[in-house]
Structure 1
Amino acid sequence: MTSLSTRAKLGVVAASAVLLGAVAAGYAATAAEPARTPPPAATGDQAVTLTPGPRLLAITDRHVSSVATADPTGPRSVSGLECLRVYAAAGTGVCLKPDTPWTYQVVVLDAALHPTRTLSVPGLPNRARVSASGRMVSWTTFVGGDSYTSGGFSTRTGIIDTVTGATVTSLEEFTIKRDGRTYRNPDVNYWGVTFTADDNVFYATMSTGGKRYLVRGEVASRAVETVKENVECPSLSPDGTRIAFKEAIGADPAKGWRLSVLDLATMRVTATAETTSVDDQAAWLDDGTLAYTLRQSDGRPDVWAVAADGSGAPRLVLPGAESPSPLA
């Protein structure tokens, strides 16, 4: 665990980067850096695979890596596959990777990290998710040029059905019900998809009119409806009862975010013990633990974990890594 002074510095760094334009610019700078050679795997490590098991998938120096869940600070396997974001479930993965220095791809992976589908996407990679069955894949990128955004940046979020091949290039194509009424506005943006167990239903963040909403959507009907305000980057628990999310402090992202959990039955929100601003889509390590990325003052990432029920204290899980995804 770092000292309080170090964690305070983390909070300052996170709070200074909350505006969308600034965040996107930061991703641009990171993405433009040449990839570093992946560190060698420790002797005896096996190749990185997405086969389900007691391992934690992550990105180390922009390369897909894995480590034993029981010993996350122990020997780490690092592949040669370069990704800016990664996620996997049921032997299927998604990698948001560079194509050229300024273009990117969504790559669907099999368990051996071989590409099965590749899609060029606009913008800078930001979020990635795979449904629990491995069938549905989603991604979010930052994009520029939308005339309605004062900062010059917005987002694009898409979904691929890996069984049928059906592709939604942007959730902005979906119809919207806000507070029970049909809603349209050219400023609508989506990010941070998380899928339910049936693969058709998902949750995501929708931004419009200066507010951010949790929305519940259906791929088949191509429609979403608002559920609750001030819910960003949702992540559905393995049992399907709760959503981990980042809650803007005072409903103002400029003040930072508190990692929190929403009970879908009661709509009750519980703040976690993590008080540092978390600008990430948390991952559930199990039904009671959340993993997320925090950056040090020099930009280096670390994966932290905290209890979902508000108890305990945050703990460092995987130093020098980001984009955590449990494989078990």
Structure 2
Amino acid sequence: MTARRLWALVLGTLLLLGGATAYTLRAAADHPNAANTGADAGFGLDGPRDALWFRDTATGRVARQDPAAPGGRITGGPRCDRFHAAGGTALCLQRRPGLPARSYVLVLDRRLREVRRMSLPGIPNRARVSPSGHVLAWTAFASGDSYNTSAFATRTSILDLRTGYLIKNIEQIPLTLDGRRHHAPDVNYWGVSFAADDNRFYATVATGGHTYLVEGDLRNWSARALKENVECPSLSPDGTRIAYKKKVSTDPAAPWRLYVLDLATLREHPLAETRSVDDQASWTGPGTVAYAYGGAVWSVPADGTGAPRRTADGASSPVVPR
């Protein structure tokens, strides 16, 4: 073998090794655990009763409100773009880098340790855990990144942790609209909220240029529309009311207002928050809802009285795990 051929072989080997190393580093960087995104030791859902949890905007990690801590919070959870928790289970949605848009769904235990991971196409948008912690739902934008356009499409999934059964997209659930079975290619679901029985759920369905509140039945695999112009429903702890955003204006900069609906009478009333909130509100108690607006978490009485109160700066995805 000549010296020239020997050097060519060595150079080729080095290039292959370099390519393999670069691929390994890229794959590691793409994996969220590579950036130390797990929960800190001792940081879990067993915090003070009625404490508020949220996503800390500065770090992207889950935090717990603590007036005695520096900055009024303890930040020790995993990195999440959307977060929710109930019944000792947490759901964390993480957007991954690159195009096309893709994400991870992380199921976490009470200590916020990862117990299951799934890939998710699209941009994470809504996350919900049932009160028991047994059933999870998440919504991602399959196209577009805002509800305030006509060019968006969503994909909503439901996972039963007791059986491991995953419904990748609930769009095929039989839908009853105006008393008749509804079939249409433009059906989109988003913003699931579960009842305490782990069977009944509420969500938004969009079709024909309208949005509706639907009540779903997992066991019988059916859904029926209850009321028009209801988006991102959130069921109250006692299961009697829905907090939601209602489209009240054609102004694309401020189309929504938060409302509460009585499920028994289907009567609604606006909340004292008059700004346009694009979020799925979270009940932090029997008479209070919290939501993200303008880079902070706010809360407001659910009966329409009072005034919005700034609860946490640099925060989103508020929840009081129970």
TM-score band w.r.t. shorter chain: 0.7 to 0.9
Point out the more displaced range, 226-235 or 80-89: 80-89
1:276-319 Cα shifts (integer Å, max 9, x gaps): 00100000010100100001xxxxx1000000001000010011
1:49-88 Cα shifts (integer Å, max 9, x gaps): 12363321100031111114x7799531112511100000
The residue identity in structure 1 corresponding to 2:216 is G
The residue identity in structure 2 corresponding to 1:261 is V
Query: Which residue of 1 is the match for residue 141 of structure 2?
Result: 142
The residue identity in structure 2 corresponding to 1:224 is A
Q: TM-score, normalised by structure 1?
A: 0.79
> Does the 8 A contact of 2:77 with 2:112 survive in 1?
no
Cα distance in 2 for partners of 1:276, 1:151 equals 22
The residue identity in structure 1 corresponding to 2:52 is L
What are structure 2's unaligned runs of at least 5 residues? 1-31
Point out the more displaced range, 93-102 or 256-265: 93-102
Query: Which residue of 2 is the match for residue 50 of structure 1?
Result: 45
> Which residues in structure 2 correspond to 1:70-219 (within 5 Å)?
75-79=72-76, 81-101=78-98, 102-144=101-143, 151-219=150-218
Superposition RMSD in Å: 2.6
> Does the 8 A contact of 2:44 with 2:77 survive in 1?
no
Distance 1:257 1:105, change over 3 A: same
Query: Which residue of 2 is the match for residue 59 of structure 1?
Result: 55
1:317 to 285, 301, 311: 311
Distance 1:104 1:261, change over 3 A: same
Q: Shift of the alpha carbon at 1:112?
A: 1.0
Q: TM-score, normalised by structure 2?
A: 0.81
Cα distance in 1 for partners of 2:134, 2:258 equals 28
Considering Cα pairs closer than 8 Å and 6+ residues apart, tell me whether 1 or 2 has the greater RCO. 1
Query: Which residue of 1 is the match for residue 255 of structure 2?
Result: 256
Q: Shift of the alpha carbon at 1:218?
A: 1.1
1:68-124 Cα shifts (integer Å, max 9, x gaps): 4x7799531112511100000011000001344442011111011111121211110
Count of paired positions: 279
Structure with larger Rg: 2
The residue identity in structure 2 corresponding to 1:213 is Y
Cα distance in 1 for partners of 2:211, 2:43 equals 37
> Does the 8 A contact of 1:47 with 1:77 survive in 2?
no
Of all paired residues, the percent bearing the same amino acid is 47
